[in-house]
Structure 1
Amino acid sequence: MKTIAIAGANGFVGQALLEKLSQDYHIIALSRNVSSKEKQKNIEWRSCDLYSMRDAEIGLEGVDYAIYLVHSMMPSARLTQGNFSDTDLILADNFVRAAKKQNVQQIIYLGGIVPNKEEDLSLHLKSRLEVEVTLSSYKVPLTTIRTSIVVGPGGSSFHMIEKLVRRLPVMICPKWTRSETQPISLEDVIAAIEQMLGNDRFFHQTIELGGPDVFDYQRLIELMAKAFGKKRLLITVPIFTARLSTLWVSLVTGTSRKLVAPLIQSLRHRMVAKEHPLKKQLQLPQIPFEVCVKNAINTKPTKSYTRKKFIPQVSDVRSVQRLCLPKGKSARFVAQEYSKWLGRYMKGILVVDNDDKGNSFFRLRFFKRWPLLVITLSPERSSSDRYLFYITGGILAEKTDRGRLEFREVMAGKYILAAIHDFRPTLPWYIYNFSQAIIHLWVMKNFGRYLKKYSEESMLSAP
C-alpha cells in the first residue's frame, strides 16, 4: 500500500480526499494540531508546522506521494507581519525541500486558473502561481491542477456566495460580477487527483480543469438563488471598487476581510479552463453546477470543514519581508551583511558584535552588559541559500527552542525572504506592538532599500 501525505487535510478538499483515498492508500494527514483527531482506518495524523522545515521533513518521512492544499490567508500567530503571498512562499519552499530530502515521487498541487495576461494578476492568483513555481523548483515531479470555484460543502468561496444569496433580497452587483467563471464540483477535483496519483504521464504537467458550465457571476448567483428557492433582484453598478466590494461582502457574510479581499480582487479575471491534451485521458463526472449546488446544500459539513476563528494560545510573532537579492549573492551573504549593516545604520544607538561561529549579539551602546537579543547560527540547518539562526537570549526575548530568524532564497534566487518565526517578546504585548514590532518593520524596510541600492550599484559597476 502506497503512502500519501495530505498537507491541508483539515480543509474541505482535504477531508474529502481522506475519505476517498484511505480506501486504497495509507494516508498521512498533516496538521498543526492533532490532539483531538479520532483514529481512522489507514489514516495517520502527524503534527506538522509547515513554517518549520524540520517539521516538514518529519511529516513527509516514508511518503510516496504528497498533495499540497495549503494557503496562508488566515493568521498563524498572534501578530503576523507581512503579506500572505510571502508566507505562502515559505510554506511551499519548506514543503518541497522536505519532499526532495525524503525522496517523494510526486507532488500534486491544487491552485487557481491563471488568465492569459499574467502580468496583471491579482495578488491572490499571483501568489498561487508563485507557489506553483516554488513547488517545481527542486526537481520533485509536480502535477498542478488549476481550478476556478470548487463547489462543495465547506468551500470558502462557495460558502461566501451562499451567504450573500441567502441574506440579501436585493444585491448590488459590481462590474466584476460580469466576469466569466467555470465552477467545478468537489467530486470532479477528487476524481482528477485520484487518477493523477503516481501516473507519470501527469508528472511536470499543469492542467486547468472546470465543470461543464461557463457563465458570469451574476448567472451563478441567480442559479444559486434558484437552488435555495429564493428570488433575488440583481442591480449592476459600475462604481463599486474592490475595496468597497470587500467591505460589503465581509459585513454581509461575517467573513474576515483578510480572506475576502484577495478573493474579490481575483474575480475581475476570466476564470475559464484552457485546453490540455491530457484532459481527454481523465474520466471525470462533470457534474452540472445546479446539481453541485443542490449536493452541497444537502450535505452537512463535518466539524473539520468549519473554519474556526484563529485564537492564539501564546503571544507569538511571525514576521516575513520580501527583499531584493543582489545578483550573484546568496542568503549567506545577506545574513552576514544584515548584522554589519545594522551596526552602521543604527550607529550611536546599537552595537552588533559577531563571533567567529556566526552568532550575533545586539546591544545598546551605553548598556553593553545586557544584550537586547542573541541569535545563534544553526550550521547543520543552514546552507548557502538558507541561513538559519535561533533566538537564544537577550532581555527582549523569551527563551524557547522555536524562536528563529532566517534568510531564505526563493523563486530561483529572485528574492530573499527575511523571516522571524515563533518569537515571544518579553515586553508587555501592547507595548511591544507599538515599539519593538514597529521598529523591526522600519529596520527591515530600510535594509531592503539598502539591498536594492547595493544591487543597482553592482549592476552599474559590472563590466
Structure 2
Amino acid sequence: MRINSFEPINRRERRKVIALTGASGYIGSHLLKRLEEDADIIAISRNTDASKNCSQVEWRSCDFFSQEQALEALRGADIAFYLIHSMLPSAKLTQGSFEDMDAILAAHFARAAAQNGIRQIIYLSGMIPAGLPENDLSRHLRSRLEVERILGSFGVPVTTIRAGLIVGPEGSSYPILSKLVRRLPIMVMPSWTRTKTHPVALTDVLDALTASIGRAEVMGRFIDVGGPDIMSYGQLLRETGELMGLKRIMIPFPFPTIKLSRLWISLITGAPKAISYPLVESLAHPMVASKENEVDGISKGSISYREAAKQALEQEMKKQKAQAHSSQSPLAQEQADSSPNSEPAISKKLKALKSDVRSVQRFTLPPGKNADWAGKHYVNWLSNAFKPFIYAEHAENEIIRIRVRPLRKPVLELSYARELSSAHRSVYRITGGCFALTAEAPDGRLEFTQLPESQDCLAAIHDYMPALPWLLYKYGQAKIHLIVMYAYGRRLKRLASNRPMKSK
C-alpha cells in the first residue's frame, strides 16, 4: 500500500528535489524506486557513475568525510534523506570507533544541508528503548542518538524514523538471523533471546519514510515504527525455522552472554565483526515502539512478521537460483554479487581499498576553546611534548614541518588551509614529507572538528597514504600516531580540569 504521493513545492516551477544518501545501499536502492515517481532525485553514493543518470535521477559521488564534497553533493536539493552509516571501514586502515566516524559524517552532512537551504532532513535510525538512560544503551544505539542530535543542531528540521529489526532479504540484521536458523540445528538460547522486539517489513519502513516527506507536524520529532507483531528473538528464530521447513532444537540458557554471543554469531553467519558486534550488543535492549512516539499514517506497519519473512526468504531463494544459473556467465555473476550488502560485495570492497588511512580520535576541549584553537594548540604542543625526538618546525605561509631525529628530512609537511578553516573546524593539508605519498593522495589532511553544541572535538586524518612499507607503517608509524594522540588527549583533559601543569 502506498501511503504518500507528495506535491511539488512550487507546481509552476519544478518538482520537488530530494537528495538521497546511501542511494546504492539496501534501503536506499529500494527507496529510490519509490521517490523517482514523484520527485527529481539527487542519488548520492561514495562511488558512482554519471552514466546511470536519467531524466528523474542525477547520480553524484560524495565522500561525506569531506565537508566540501558534502556541500556540493546536496546543492539544489529541497529535502534530504540521511541513510549513512560507517560500520564498515572506509580505508585500508581505519583507526577509531564507528561512533566517532558517524559523528563526523553527520556533522558534515547537517552543516552542508543548512548551507544549501535544505527544508527537511529525514533520518532512518534505530529503535531506542523507552526509559533507559543513554549511558546504559549499546554503542550502536548511543551513536544513533548522537547522530540524531547532530543532524538537528544546524537549524534544519529533522524527522527521525526509528525502526528495530527491518525484515527484508538483504540489509544487515535479518540476514544474520536467517543464517543462524539455517546453519544451526541446535541452538543455545541465552536470556537475551527472550527480549522483546518489534520487527517491521521493509515495505512498511519505505512507507514511513515517504509518508514523512514535507509533513510539518513531523518535523523536529522522532517517530517509532513497527509491524503488527511484538515478539521475542527466540520466537523470531522459531517462526523463521518453520518457514524454512527446518526443525531446530532450542536449549534455554539463563545468562545473557552478549560478548560470547556476538563472537559465535559472527563466526556462524560470516558477518563482519564491524557489523555484527554492535548489532548483537543491542539485543539486550527491548525495542518496541512507544505509543507516545507514534504518528498516524506512519508508525503502524500492516505486514506481519510471518508474511514479511516469507517474502524475504522467497526473494533470497530466487537470488540463489539466479546465481547458480549464472555460474557459466561471468557478467551475470558479477551483477549478482553487486548488491552492496552481500558478502561477496563486502569482501570485494574491502580488498579494493587503496593503501590509505583514516584515523579519528575524540577529545574534550577546555571550556571556551574551539576546534581552530585545538589545531594550533596541537602543533605548538607537538613542538615541545616529545623533544628531542619529535618536534614541529614552523615555516613561512603557515607551513608546519614535523621532524623526527635523527632523520634529516621532515617526515610530514602540514599546510594550514585558512580558507577551509573556521572556529568549529581546523584543516591542515598534508602537502609533503618523506612519510607521505602526496602525489597519490593529494587530498590527505589533518582536521580538527568540534561537534555542535558540545566541547567534544574529533581529530582526524583523512585520505592519507603512507610512504613506508605497509606493515612497517601499520605496526610502527600508525601505533606512534595513536600514542601521540593519546598523550594530547591527556593534555587537554588536564587543561579542562584546571589541574596544575608544566609550562610546556
TM-score range, shorter chain: over 0.9
Other structure's SS at 1:45 match = strand
Q: Is the 8 A contact 2:192 2:283 kept in 1?
A: yes
Per-residue Cα deviation, 1:359-378 (whole angstroms, up to 9, x for no partner) = 3111135545x211111111
Q: Which of 99, 104, 109 is the matching residue for 2:123?
A: 109
Instruction: Report what 1:379 is aligned to.
Output: 418
Deviation at 1:413, TM superposition (A): 2.3
2:138 corresponds to which of 116, 122, 126: 122
Q: How many residues align?
A: 459
Aligned amino acid, residue 455 of structure 1: A
CA distance in 1, matches of 2:45, 2:71: 14
Alignment-mate amino acid for residue 376 of structure 2? Q
1:295-306 superposed matches below 5 A? 295-300=311-316, 303-306=338-341
* Matched residue, 1:260: 276
Identity %: 42
> Take 1:35 and 1:424, find their aligned partners in 2: how far apart are those partners?
25
Identify the residue that residue 445 of structure 1 maps to in structure 2. 486
5 Å matches for 1:1-16?
A: 1-16=15-30
Q: Within 5 Å, give how 1:219-238 maps onto structure 2.
A: 219-238=235-254
Please name the residue that 2:7 is paired with: none
Q: Paired residue for 1:393?
A: 432
* 2:107–2:452 CA contact under 8 A, matched in 1: no
1:43 to 54, 57, 73: 57
For residues 395-417 of structure 1, what are the alpha-carbon distances to aligned partners after superposition, in whole Å with 9 as ceiling and x for unaligned? 11111321010001015223100
Match 1:172 to one of 188, 207, 215: 188
> Which moves more between the two structures, 353-362 or 100-109?
353-362
Any conservation in 1 of the 2:50–2:59 contact (CA below 8 Å)? no
What is the CA–CA distance in structure 2 between the aligned matches of 1:327 and 1:406, rounded to whole Å? 20
Question: Residues 220-245 of structure 1: CA distance to partner in whole angstroms, max 9, x if unpaired?
Answer: 11111111121111112135622211
How far apart are the structure 1 equivalents of 2:489 and 2:237?
44
Query: C-alpha root-mean-square deviation of aligned residues, in Å?
Result: 1.9
The SS at the match of 1:352 is strand
CA shift, 1:119, in A, is 2.5
CA distance in structure 2 between the aligned counterparts of 1:170 and 1:366, rounded to whole angstroms? 61
- Cα distance in structure 2, aligned partners of 1:155 and 1:99: 26
Taking a change above 3 Å as real, the CA distance of residues 219 and 283 of structure 1, as seen in their structure-2 partners, is closer
5+ long unaligned stretches in structure 2? 1-14, 320-335
Residues 173-213 of structure 1, C-alpha deviation per residue, up to 9 Å, x if partnerless?
11211111001111111111111111111110111111111
Counterpart selection for 2:77 from 50, 60, 63: 63
Q: Please point out which of 319, 335, 338 is paired with 2:359.
A: 319
> What's the CA shift string for 1:417-448, capped at 9, x where partnerless?
00000100000001111110000000001100
The answer for the alignment partner of 2:228 in structure 1 is: 212
User: Mean Cα displacement is larger for which, 16-25 or 38-47?
Assistant: 38-47
Mapping 1:12-411, distance limit 5 Å: 12-35=26-49, 38-115=52-129, 116-117=131-132, 118-239=134-255, 241-276=257-292, 279-282=295-298, 285-300=301-316, 303-307=338-342, 308=345, 309=347, 310-355=350-395, 357-368=397-408, 370-399=409-438, 400-411=441-452
Please list every run of 5 or more consecutive structure 1 residues that lacks an aligned counterpart in the other structure: none
Give the match for residue 466 of structure 2.
425
- Give, in whole Å, the separation in 1 of the partners of 2:430 and 2:203: 46
**Which stretch has the larger CA shift, 259-268 or 406-415?**
406-415
Report the CA distance between 1:218 and its aligned residue.
0.2
1:434 to 1:283, Cα distance in 2 relative to 1, 3 A: closer
8 Å CA contact 1:113–1:271 kept in 2: the answer is yes
More displaced 10-residue stretch of structure 1: 117-126 or 450-459: 450-459
Structure 1 residues 160 and 170, CA, compared in 2 at 3 Å: closer, same or farther? Answer: same
Three-state SS of the structure 2 residue aligned to 1:28 is strand
Report the more deviating stretch, 124-133 or 194-203.
194-203
Q: Distance in 1 between matches of 2:61 and 2:465?
A: 21
Q: Aligned partners of 1:430, 1:312: CA distance in 2, in Å?
A: 18
CA–CA distance in structure 2, aligned partners of residues 21 and 61 of structure 1: 18
SS at match of 1:416: strand
Shift in CA distance, 296/305, structure 1 to aligned 2, threshold 3 Å: farther
TM-score norm. by structure 2 comes to: 0.88
Question: In structure 2, what is the Cα distance between the partners aligned to 1:37 and 1:325?
Answer: 45
Contact 1:65 1:104 in 2 (8 A): yes
The verdict on how the C-alpha distance between 1:284 and 1:174 changes in structure 2, with shifts beyond 3 A counting, is closer
User: 2 CA distance for matches of 1:409 and 1:274?
Assistant: 33
Contact kept? 1:15, 1:304, Cα under 8 Å: no
2:328 aligns to what?
none
Alignment check: 8 A CA contact 1:15 1:305 kept: no
Measured in 2, the distance between the counterparts of 1:20 and 1:226 equals: 32
SS in 2 for 1:265: helix
User: Partner letter of residue 371 of structure 1?
Assistant: P
